[in-house]
Structure 1
Amino acid sequence: MNEKTAAVGAWEALFRAQVTIMRELTACFPTGVISFNEYDVLFNLSNQPEKRARIKELTQHLLLTQPSISRLVDRLASKGIVEKLSDPGDGRGIVVALTDLGVDVFRTTAVRHAEAISARVGGTLDADELLQLTKLCTKLRLGTPIAEAEPDDRLCGGIDDEADADEARSEPAVAEASA
Structure 2
Amino acid sequence: MRRFTADDIWGPISVREYDVLFTLSKCPTHKLRLHDLNDEILLSQPSLSRMCERLDKLGYLTREPDPSDKRGTIVALTDAGLAVQREIGRRHAARIRRYVGDALSDDELTTLEALCTKLRLAQPAISRQEFS
Normalised-by-shorter TM-score class = 0.7 to 0.9
Q: Which residue of 1 aligns with 2:64?
A: 85
Give the C-alpha shift of residue 101 in structure 1.
1.0
**What letter matches 1:131 in structure 2?**
T
2:116 & 2:79 partners in 1: Cα distance?
Answer: 33
Give CA-to-partner distance per residue, 1:73-97, whole Å, 9 cap, x none.
0110111111111111111111111
Unpaired stretches in structure 1, ≥5 consecutive residues: 1-21, 149-153, 158-179
Going from structure 1 to structure 2, the CA distance change for 1:147 and 1:102 (only over 3 Å counts) comes to closer
Q: TM-score, normalised by structure 1?
A: 0.65
| Counterpart residue type for residue 41 of structure 1 | V
User: Would you say the 8 A contact 1:43–1:106 is kept in 2?
Assistant: yes
Cα displacement (A) at 1:60 = 1.1
2:106 maps to which of 127, 135, 139: 127
Q: Which has the higher helix share?
A: 1
State which of 20, 29, 50 in structure 2 corresponds to 1:41.
Answer: 20
Task: Find the aligned partners of 2:66 and 2:114 in 1 and give their Cα distance.
Answer: 37
- Secondary structure of the equivalent of 2:63? strand
Residue 111 of structure 1 aligns with an amino acid whose one-letter code is R
Structure 2 match to 1:99:
78
Distance 1:79 1:61 in 2: 22
How far apart are the structure 1 equivalents of 2:55 and 2:42?
Answer: 18
Paired AA for residue 126 in structure 2? P
Give the Cα–Cα distance (whole angstroms) in 1 for the partners of residues 116 and 62 of structure 2: 33
Rounded to whole Å, the distance in 1 between the matches of 2:60 and 2:116 is 32
Gaps of 5+ in 2: none
| Other-structure match for 1:66 | 45
After superposition, the Cα gap between the structure-2 partners of 1:140 and 1:77, relative to the gap in structure 1 and judged at 3 Å, is: closer
CA contact (8 A) 1:80 1:102 kept: yes
Aligned twin of 1:137 = 116
* Aligned-pair CA distance for 1:135: 2.7
The size of the alignment, in residue pairs, is 130
The one of the two structures with greater contact order (alpha-carbon pairs below 8 A, sep at least 6) is 1
Flag as ranges the 4+ runs of structure 1 deviating above 6 A: none
Cα distance in 2, alignment partners of residues 50 and 124 from structure 1: 36
- Tell me the percent identity: 45
Deviations 1:24-67 (A, max 9, x none): 11111512211000000001111112211110010111111111
